[in-house]
């Protein structure tokens, strides 16, 4: 009985560690794997290296993404995807959201346009063209004392 009471704090500590550390990590890992398995063409993603791109083609273990203004395509592995910027990762939640929106009709708030942007007619803007003449800068003359010139001539003779 005495040894059981001594082991109780150790068992309690292991039990707490499981619920505070191990279980949440497994949940995150499961959600990440689900996100990576539900990637589709057209999803915008961020890789673990920080590269942002759009999925062009999906293969078994790899993806081909399109990156940048020049639309460069390259292949990455599925495990290299950090997160999806747009697109729903869980299709069941998308269905639930649409069914909830259909069952409870709500008015969407109207967008307020500032008065400055709402002007119908604006006065024409006159452009004044100013012609400027560019003057050539004066030549800069650097005077070198004759003593320095002789030293430079001696140094060049020694090198050759």
Instruction: Note the pLDDT tens digit of each residue in 151-160.
Output: 666 666 776 6
For 122, other C-beta atoms within 10 Å of its C-beta total: 6
Q: How far is CA 136 from the centre of its chain?
A: 47
Q: Is the pLDDT of residue 4 over 90?
A: no
- How far apart are the C-alpha atoms of 69 and 52, rounded to whole Å? 12
Model-wide pTM > 0.75: no
For 10-60, the pLDDT digits (tens) are 999 999 999 899 999 999 999 999 999 999 999 999 999 999 999 999 999
Per-residue confidence band for 3, with pLDDT thresholds at 50, 70 and 90: confident
* Cβ atoms of residues 55 and 40 within 8 Å: yes
């Amino acid at each position: 009985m005495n040894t059981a009471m001594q082991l109780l704090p150790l068992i309690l500590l292991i039990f707490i560690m499981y619920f505070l550390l191990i279980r949440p990590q497994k949940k995150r890992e499961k959600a990440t794997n689900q996100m990576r398995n539900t990637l589709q063409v057209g999803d915008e993603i961020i890789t673990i290296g920080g590269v942002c791109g759009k999925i062009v083609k999906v293969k078994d273990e790899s993806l081909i993404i399109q990156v940048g203004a020049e639309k460069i395509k390259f292949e990455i592995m599925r495990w290299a995807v950090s997160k999806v910027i747009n697109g729903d990762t869980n299709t069941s939640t998308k269905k639930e959201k649409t069914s909830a929106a259909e069952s409870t009709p709500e008015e969407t708030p109207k967008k307020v346009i500032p008065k400055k942007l709402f002007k119908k007619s604006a006065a024409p803007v006159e452009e004044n063209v100013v012609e400027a003449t560019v003057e050539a800068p004066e030549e800069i003359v650097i005077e070198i004392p004759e003593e320095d010139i002789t030293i430079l001539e001696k140094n060049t003779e020694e090198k050759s």
